[in-house]
Amino acid sequence: MPRSPELAVPEVWGITAGENRSRYHRLVSFLPAGDRGLYARLTVRRQLEFWARIALVPRERFRETIDHAIETFDLAELAERRVDRMSMGQRQRLRIAMTVLAAITLGLGCTLFGLQLHWSTVPLSVPVMLLVLLAFLPFGMLFASLTVVVKQGNVGTSWVIALLSIVGGLYFPVSLLPQWLQTAAKLQPFTAATDVLRHLLVNSSLGGSPGTSLLKLAGFAAVLLPASIFVLASAIRLGQRRGTIIEY
């Protein structure tokens, strides 16, 4: 990969979109916060079908993949409900199910294209992912608090996600960033999450020890979760005092 940020090309395990777009898309997944990636008028099933097409899920496994995601994340009762008629928690379950669709194609990538997973540490990625979710949950709660207060969705959500993705090394190595951005990369959980999961899944090198990354994630969760719960509770109380808690 070029060392100049202007010439950097995003890669997923050595594959670029320009070289093999279909294979590249099958290996990419993304779990947004807020209402990003959801279409209000689509039902849960239609949303998953749309996402599966974007993820290039093979036709012969298309229906099976959708049904498996609905069953796994307990979405059967919501399958025919429109997204705009679901609660925030139900929408988050749908987003996680959408993300897992690409994980299924990751397994196909191993089978069909020879992607080498580091199987001895792959099981460890499951509890680590739970820790990652705890570290990122406060961001969702903070955005929910803003929605309660200002009565408007997507209050800077897209910008925050894009910034975290860039600074966190999702698209290209953090070492390509200016020094001040490399410092910022160490002060948010995305970088630690990306590094440790890549290490566990494909045995990529880490700048430090896996334990350090895990301690960072645990620290972010321990500090930010109580703070975000307090902020959300305060936002709800403010909405109750204003009499606007049910407005959107």
Confidence of residue 218 (pLDDT cuts 50, 70, 90): very high
d(CA 122, CA 203): 9
Q: For residue 144, count other CB atoms closer than 10 A to its CB.
A: 20
Fold topology of 1-115: Rossmann fold (3.40.50)
- 87 CB-near residues (< 8 Å, 6+ apart): none
Strand pairing partners for 82? 43
Burial class (CB in 10 A: 0-12, 13-18, 19+), 29: middle
pLDDT tens track for 128-163: 888 988 888 888 888 888 888 887 666 667 677 777
Domain definitions of the chain by residue range: 1-115, 117-248
Indicate the pTM of the whole model. Answer: 0.53
Structure token digits, residue 203? 């045995």
Cβ pair 54, 47 in contact under 8 A: no
pLDDT of residue 223: 92
Q: What is the pLDDT of residue 153?
A: 62
Say which residue, 223 or 90, is predicted with more confidence.
223
